[in-house]
Structure 1
């Protein structure tokens, strides 16, 4: 297990820089022209793109975007507004090694089926089990004075929110997600975490026990056997009608 615990870094972006202003203009352009791919590197160039550490909240306007390209970025976080990109099908922040976690809202991208993420850099990844930062005294702060509950989308203050980590399957990767919750009722609505990771939503910290490498492989083997049995049962069920048809044909 990786014993290093990162401190949550807030205010990651200089919002007065030329790079940020050009990125915001690019978001508006993509939204206005109904462009289906979002690739800030191609628009800004490497020098400006390397100064970008988050995305504008205005990405909520990118209703038609199907593919997001953030390869090799210096991005450290993604805003919750990504959950409003309902057409998103492919998400690629590969080799963005400063990106250790994602907002829970990315799981609301209902069409997101494929992703390419540098999973070794993620909190809780099974290859190194990088420790989750403790949220109790080290909360995440987005831009603005309020935020929305990740479940019911009720607007709340930072004093009202309960922040928890949870690992879920998003696209083709298991991602550590940060959920902002307004109540116990909303906490109870969180889905079951992905098999092989901490099996409950949590605050992180040095005392959090994550599955060992041995436990991981045992869990994956069990999952493989379950899937194998499921396929065999389905195959058997499909064979039964064929057998009945053959018997009926012979009888006739």
Structure 2
């Protein structure tokens, strides 16, 4: 693998640790109480929270949670079950710099309107264009023997899934997602990426050509020259150009 391309690590979490056991207890507490906010740092404290590198699959039970607070975490990944959090409106893993990609299932949270993500750290960022790891041989493994198709939710083994990267807009951020797919039909249901990003689902790797920052800027920025306040003043210099992003097309 190209030395500039990071390798995705599996089995990142010690599931026998005090931090993990307490986090699982917290998920159960939020579920039973029907709480609307999920903020594990407050429950675990800084020391234990720093030992959390993923979230329990049981977060899928948090149907009433509207806000997820993961600020400053050491998370390396988030399980696909986050897509089952049907009430989720706000997602905040800001300054979680080890989170370089997200599960495609997050796009299924249809109530998600706002997010705060350190996008400069993610794969495919429009400024740095961090390279996507190559997904041949399915290097991303999940806890358990089965994984569901990210589109149709069909259960399958890890060896059966076709894993692809895609870039999508969720909340107020454009992020890289990993999709587990069971068929070409499900692959074709993944929407095209926003302009200025790789338009199609892909395997990543050193051979992947990503659009340049200039190409992203050309597709997403409109230059507006304001009208002169005094048309008779020929010596007045025009104001600095203002850069305004285009409205994102769905």
What interval of TM-score do these two structures reach, taking the shorter chain for normalisation? 0.7 to 0.9
1:210-221 map, 5 Å? 210-221=210-221
Aligned to 2:129: 129
Are the counterparts in 2 of residues 8 and 138 from structure 1 also a CA contact under 8 Å?
Answer: no
Distance in 2, Cα, partners of 1:226 & 1:190: 23
Distance in 2, Cα, partners of 1:177 & 1:92: 16
Aligned to 2:168: 168
Deviation at 1:94, TM superposition (A): 0.2
Aligned to 1:185: 185
Deviation at 1:217, TM superposition (A): 1.1
Aligned to 2:72: 72
1:23 is the counterpart of 2:27: no
Residues paired across the two proteins, number: 228
Aligned to 2:63: 63
Deviation at 1:106, TM superposition (A): 0.2
Are the counterparts in 1 of residues 138 and 163 from structure 2 also a CA contact under 8 Å?
Answer: no
Deviation at 1:43, TM superposition (A): 0.3
1:97-246 map, 5 Å? 97-137=97-137, 139-221=139-221
CA spacing shift, 1:68–1:203, aligned 2, 3 Å? same
TM-score, structure 2 normalization: 0.87
Deviation at 1:227, TM superposition (A): 5.2
Deviation at 1:225, TM superposition (A): 9.1
CA spacing shift, 1:161–1:218, aligned 2, 3 Å? same
Are the counterparts in 2 of residues 7 and 138 from structure 1 also a CA contact under 8 Å?
Answer: no
Q: Which has the higher helix share?
A: 1
Distance in 1, Cα, partners of 2:84 & 2:30: 15
Deviation at 1:139, TM superposition (A): 1.7
Aligned to 1:249: none
CA spacing shift, 1:81–1:227, aligned 2, 3 Å? closer
- CA offsets per residue over residues 202-244 of structure 1, 9 Å max, x none? 000000000012111111137979759x9xxxxxxxxxxxxxx
> CA RMSD for the aligned pairs?
2.0
Gaps of 5+ in 2: 224-243
Distance in 2, Cα, partners of 1:220 & 1:105: 26
Distance in 1, Cα, partners of 2:129 & 2:246: 25
Are the counterparts in 1 of residues 72 and 95 from structure 2 also a CA contact under 8 Å?
Answer: yes
Aligned to 2:229: none
Runs of 4 or more above 2 Å deviation:
221-228
Distance in 2, Cα, partners of 1:166 & 1:225: 22
Deviation at 1:137, TM superposition (A): 3.8
Distance in 1, Cα, partners of 2:129 & 2:164: 17
Distance in 1, Cα, partners of 2:247 & 2:47: 47
Gaps of 5+ in 1: 231-252
Distance in 2, Cα, partners of 1:166 & 1:183: 16
Are the counterparts in 2 of residues 165 and 202 from structure 1 also a CA contact under 8 Å?
Answer: yes
Deviation at 1:138, TM superposition (A): 5.4
Q: Secondary structure at the match of 2:220?
A: helix
